[in-house]
């Protein structure tokens, strides 16, 4: 029967069976094993030396006890450095964005807010506004008012927007029923009075929008009745390309004063006041 002392090495000989070397041997074995090497004890070696493999190329060194101590320190430092680099470059699960970019177009005019503060205003649907905004603790509320200048059936209202997050997330306007690759549930809409007559705080983060409805989805950017202006719009709506859909609060030949909201994340307040979150439904698309 073959004893462990007679076993041939796979990656090299490691550590003599001398009692004084047991502590060092076991520690080096644990460290090197993490790199996938296989170790066996080899008898008949001098007590004042230990044979170790250089794992990357299977070459070998004979080290004195003093050299072993230094070698062990270097191995620990190397392993620590590799782990630190891995932690820096591997994305952290559950990371939240800190900044966002809001791009908005509306037929015919619009005013955009983030967390209750006005960030943009426009009156030409072929020229989208672009606004950068901070995201505090992973939470922000985007609110947009759109006015259709042609009353009722005389015209068609439309709202198109997307939100680009600094963690790679992308959110476009849509309903919740389409293909997952270009659907972003969570948008809410409400038809009401002109903005000058509305003072209920609809644009504020803590506003209760539970009675608001899911918007009606129309053509995706580039198609439909707004398609002829897509070329001009792409000058702004690129990097990333816009994947959003035109939406409205119900039929777009009815209401003329329409409001929209989208909540990123969850507001960190008392449980009774928490807003509904759509954070888990954000998709990475670029």
pLDDT tens digits for 254-280?
A: 999 999 999 999 876 544 444 444 444
Name the residue with tokens 């901070």.
Answer: 134
Contact 214, 177 (CB under 8 A): no
E strand or H helix that includes residue 27: helix 22-33
Domain ranges for the chain? 4-89, 99-284
What whole-number distance in Å separates Cα of residue 267 and Cα of residue 274? 6
What whole-number distance in Å separates Cα of residue 256 and Cα of residue 262? 20
Q: What is the pLDDT of residue 269?
A: 53
Q: What is the pLDDT of residue 86?
A: 46
Q: Which two tokens stand for residue 213?
A: 């409805």
72 pLDDT tier (thresholds 50, 70, 90): low
Q: Does CATH place domain 99-284 in 2.60.120? A: yes
Q: Which two tokens stand for residue 37?
A: 């090497």
User: Residue 258: helix, strand or coil by DSSP?
Assistant: strand
Q: What is the pLDDT of residue 255?
A: 95
Q: What is the pLDDT of residue 27?
A: 58
Q: What is the pLDDT of residue 180?
A: 87
Contact 62, 73 (CB under 8 A): no
Region of poorest pLDDT, from 24-38, 98-112, 125-139, 145-159: 24-38
pLDDT at 184 over 60: yes
Contact 209, 262 (CB under 8 A): no
The residues near 88 (Cβ < 8 Å, ≥ 6 apart) are none
pLDDT tens sequence across 82-119: 555 444 444 444 678 999 999 999 999 999 999 999 99
Q: What is the pLDDT of residue 178?
A: 84
Residue-averaged pLDDT of the chain:
76
Alpha carbon of 224 to those of 54, 75, 160, 230: distances in Å? 66, 64, 13, 10
pLDDT at 9 over 90: no
Residues, the chain: 286
Q: What is the pLDDT of residue 266?
A: 83
Q: What is the pLDDT of residue 89?
A: 42
What whole-number distance in Å separates Cα of residue 188 and Cα of residue 26? 62
Contact 207, 264 (CB under 8 A): no
pLDDT tens sequence across 58-71: 333 444 555 556 66
Q: What is the pLDDT of residue 3?
A: 42
Q: What is the pLDDT of residue 275?
A: 41
pLDDT at 239 over 70: yes
Where does 203-284 show beta strands of DSSP type E?
216-220, 245-248, 257-264, 283-284
Number of neighbours of residue 123 by Cβ within 10 angstroms:
12
Mean pLDDT within 200-228 = 97
Task: Categorise residue 216: left if φ over 0, alpha if ψ from -120 to 50, beta otherwise.
Answer: beta
pLDDT at 220 over 50: yes
Alpha carbon of 87 to those of 31, 35, 146, 167, 269: distances in Å? 19, 18, 45, 17, 31
What whole-number distance in Å separates Cα of residue 214 and Cα of residue 247? 10
């Amino acid at each position: 029967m073959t004893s462990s002392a007679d076993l041939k090495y796979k990656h090299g000989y490691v550590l003599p069976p001398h009692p004084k070397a047991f502590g060092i041997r076991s520690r080096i074995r644990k460290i090197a094993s993490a790199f996938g090497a296989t170790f066996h004890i080899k008898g008949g070696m001098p007590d004042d030396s230990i044979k170790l493999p250089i794992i990357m190329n299977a070459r070998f060194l004979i080290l004195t006890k003093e050299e072993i101590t230094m070698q062990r320190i270097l191995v620990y430092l190397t392993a620590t450095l590799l782990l630190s680099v891995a932690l820096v470059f591997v994305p952290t699960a559950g990371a939240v964005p800190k900044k966002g970019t809001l791009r908005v177009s509306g037929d015919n005019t619009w005013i955009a807010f983030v967390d209750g503060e006005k960030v943009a205003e426009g009156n030409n649907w072929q020229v989208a506004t672009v606004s950068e905004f901070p995201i505090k603790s992973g939470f922000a509320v985007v609110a947009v008012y759109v006015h259709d200048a042609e009353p009722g059936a005389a015209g068609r209202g439309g709202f198109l927007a997307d939100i680009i997050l600094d963690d790679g997330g992308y959110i476009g306007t849509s309903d919740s029923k389409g293909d997952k690759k270009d659907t972003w549930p969570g948008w809410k809409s409400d038809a009401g009075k002109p903005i000058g007559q509305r003072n209920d705080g609809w644009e504020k983060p803590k506003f209760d929008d539970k009675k608001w409805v899911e918007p009606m989805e129309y053509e995706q950017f580039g198609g439909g009745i707004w398609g002829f202006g897509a070329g001009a719009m792409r000058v702004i709506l690129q990097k990333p390309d816009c994947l959003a859909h035109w939406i409205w609060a119900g039929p777009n030949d009815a209401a003329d004063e329409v409001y929209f909201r989208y909540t990123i994340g969850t507001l960190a307040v008392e449980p009774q006041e928490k807003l509904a979150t759509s954070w888990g439904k954000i998709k990475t698309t670029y």
